[in-house]
Amino acid sequence: MTLLYELHDQARERGVEGYRKMSKAELEVALGLAEPPGPTGVESEVRGALGVLVLAGANDENALSLETLEALADAAERLAADDDVRQLHRRARKPAHGPMGRRLRHRCSLHQ
Q: Check whether 63 has a pLDDT greater than 60.
A: yes
Tell whether 26 and 63 lie within a shared domain: no
Q: Are residues 59 and 96 in the same domain?
A: yes
**Is 53 a residue whose pLDDT tops 80?**
yes
As a whole-number percent, the residues of the chain with pLDDT over 90 amount to 54
> Both 91 and 53 in a single domain?
yes
Where in the sequence is the domain holding 14, given as residue range(s)?
A: 1-36
Please tell me whether residues 20 and 73 are part of one structural domain: no
When pLDDT is cut at 50, 70 and 90, the band that residue 1 belongs to is confident
CB 53 within 8 A of CB 88: yes
What is the enclosing helix (H) or strand (E) of 107? strand 106-109
Q: Are residues 17 and 71 in the same domain?
A: no
- Residue 45 pLDDT class (50, 70, 90 cuts): very high
Q: Does residue 22 sit in the same domain as residue 47?
A: no
> Residues 41, 42, 45, CA angle at the centre, nearest 5°?
145
Please count the structural domains in the chain.
2
User: Which pLDDT score, from 0 to 100, does residue 13 have?
Assistant: 96
